[in-house]
Amino acid sequence: MSRVVGGAAIAVTVAVIVSFALIGSSQRDVTIQDLTVGDCFFLPENDIGLSITSFPLAECGDVLERASSGGGVAAYVLKVGVLNGSSSQFPTAEELLQMVDERCEKFVLTVPAILPLVPDETAWNVAGGPYACLSVSPG
């Protein structure tokens, strides 16, 4: 694992293999391929360690306030892209993480904790392997 992943985010990174599926809810939930730079969402402590299938977007100030109250992590989307995976075999989790780490590397000097989001096999095949680089702030 590269130095891109901050200490508090390591446990999250391994488990954050995001899925292509969208789970419906009353919030504005989006999937990884719908994330855009500047989006913010909150990862509750009880969701850390589970595969994340959707991201409940919220105002960044609200997300940071909620994280500072404890019980989760505030996430800010720094970069999104695709790994162009539809033309090749689905890589291992370690290979995926390395590919996304390389794309998130430029944020290492300016952001304290970076969390790379990697695609699952369905997202790899259907959407070309979407990924995101997140700035995370634990509560």
Which tens digits make up the pLDDT trace of 6-23? Answer: 433 433 443 344 433 333
Query: Which pair of structure tokens corresponds to residue 88?
Result: 């090749």
Q: Give percent of the chain above pLDDT 70.
A: 72
Which tens digits make up the pLDDT trace of 59-98? Answer: 999 999 999 998 789 999 999 999 986 667 899 989 999 9
pTM (2 d.p.): 0.77
Task: Compute the distance between CA of residue 4 and CA of residue 63 in angstroms, rounded to an integer.
Answer: 22
pLDDT at 13: 42
Distances (CA, A) of 91 to 66, 96, 101: 35, 6, 14
**How many CB atoms are closer than 10 A to CB 82?**
16
- Report CA Rg, the chain: 14
Check whether 31 has a pLDDT greater than 70: yes
- Select from 69, 89, 63, 85 the least CA-distant residue to 131: 85
pLDDT at 60: 94
pLDDT at 22: 34
Sign of torsion over alpha carbons 109, 98, 35, 84: positive
Residue 47 near residue 15, CB atoms below 8 Å: no
Q: Where are the domains of the chain?
A: 7-138
Q: Give percent of the chain above pLDDT 90.
A: 40
